[in-house]
């Protein structure tokens, strides 16, 4: 009888140890309840949970990468777009994540969807396409504040895709093409304005120096002759070049 009693006690001790000893990994924590009331947070390592008196809820402390489903958003300038994002968060207070919310992952996902629609709906389409960094920060700050009561830290939010329908894509392409044409015309007009200013300066200099005008005329004639050698070129002879010759002829005729 004594031997059977000892064996029974040993079996009970082994069963107690089997059900009460828990091993928690480095990234795990155990939220302990004693008779239904919150007691403490334990782990990592080897912990003891008394069966029947204590209950444990295991929480993973690693960063969770969550895809936010595609949301239909109407921008402030009344453009309908489809937007999805990715959310990075982790539990920093395991007790709050268990006590304050029923399912912290589901709650964070639903909150991220509503916040995404709310924030993006207050911006125009151009801001969604060009200002993603600012939008990411705005969404992250709002989520981080609202999930703090659940013991959750939202570290980052990234917008993945902003999808437009075909008609809007064509309209944006036409707008970009018109903008490029406008810039090209402005650059061309600026070049014409600068060139006209330089030509005006050159004309003023040449008008003050007739010799310079004559040299420029002769240089132009030389350039024309060198470029086109197969055709006959007829050009007017400036009167200021032949006036002295005409004067000499008149004097010679008067003497005769």
Closest residue by Cα to residue 143 from 72, 94, 87: 87
Q: For 64-169, which CATH class?
A: alpha beta
For 207-222, give one letter per residue: b (16+ CB within 10 A) or e: eeeeeebeeeeeeeee
What pLDDT is attached to residue 96? 95
Q: Write out the residue limits of the CATH 3.30.479.30 domain(s) in the chain.
A: 64-169
- 153-210: pLDDT as tens digits: 999 999 988 888 766 656 666 766 777 778 878 888 888 888 777 777 776 766 666 6
Confidence grade of residue 247 (pLDDT, cut at 50, 70, 90): low
- Structure-model confidence comparison of residues 244 and 94, the more confident one: 94
- 141-163: pLDDT as tens digits: 999 999 999 999 999 999 988 88
Complete DSSP assignment for the chain:
-HHHHHHHHHHHHHHHHHHHEEEE-TTEEEEEEETTEEEEEE-SEEEE--TTTEEEEEEE-SPEEEEEEEEEEE-TTS-EEEEEEEEEEEES-HHHHHHT-S-HHHHHHHHHHHHHHHHHTTS-HHHHHH-HHHHHHHHHHHHHHHHGGGTEEEEEEEEEEEE--HHHHHHHHHHHHHHHHHHHHHHHHHHHHHHHHHHHHHHHHHHH-HHHHHHHHHHHHHHHHHH--SS----PPPHHHHHHHHHHHHHHHHH-
Beta bridge partners of 24: 45
CA distance 41 to 33: 9
Is the overall model pTM greater than 0.85, yes or no?
no
CA distance 202 to 213: 10
Place of tokens 């470029």: 227
What pLDDT is attached to residue 65? 95
Compute how many other C-beta atoms are within 10 angstroms of the C-beta atom of residue 124. 14
């Amino acid at each position: 009888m004594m031997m059977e009693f000892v064996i029974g006690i040993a079996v009970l001790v082994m069963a107690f140890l089997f059900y009460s000893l828990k091993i928690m990994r480095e990234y795990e924590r155990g939220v302990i309840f004693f008779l239904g009331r919150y007691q403490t947070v334990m782990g990592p390592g080897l912990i003891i949970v008394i069966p029947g008196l204590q209950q444990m809820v295991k929480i993973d402390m690693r960063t969770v990468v969550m895809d936010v489903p595609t949301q239909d958003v109407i921008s402030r300038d009344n453009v309908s777009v489809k937007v999805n994002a990715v959310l990075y968060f982790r539990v920093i207070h395991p007790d709050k994540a268990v006590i304050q919310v029923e399912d912290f992952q589901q709650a964070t996902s639903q909150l991220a969807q509503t916040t995404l629609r709310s924030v993006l709906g207050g911006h125009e389409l151009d801001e969604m396409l060009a200002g993603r960094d600012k939008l990411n920060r705005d969404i992250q700050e709002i989520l981080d504040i609202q999930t703090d009561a659940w013991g959750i830290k939202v570290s980052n939010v990234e917008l993945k895709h902003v999808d437009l329908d075909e008609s809007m894509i064509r309209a944006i392409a036409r707008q970009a093409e018109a903008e490029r044409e406008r810039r090209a015309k402005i650059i061309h007009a600026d070049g014409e304005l600068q060139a006209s200013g330089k030509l005006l300066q050159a004309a003023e200099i040449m008008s003050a120096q007739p010799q310079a005008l004559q040299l420029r005329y002769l240089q132009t004639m030389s350039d024309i002759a060198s470029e086109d050698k197969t055709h006959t070129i007829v050009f007017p002879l400036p009167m200021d070049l032949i006036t002295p010759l005409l004067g000499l002829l008149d004097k010679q005729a008067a003497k005769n």
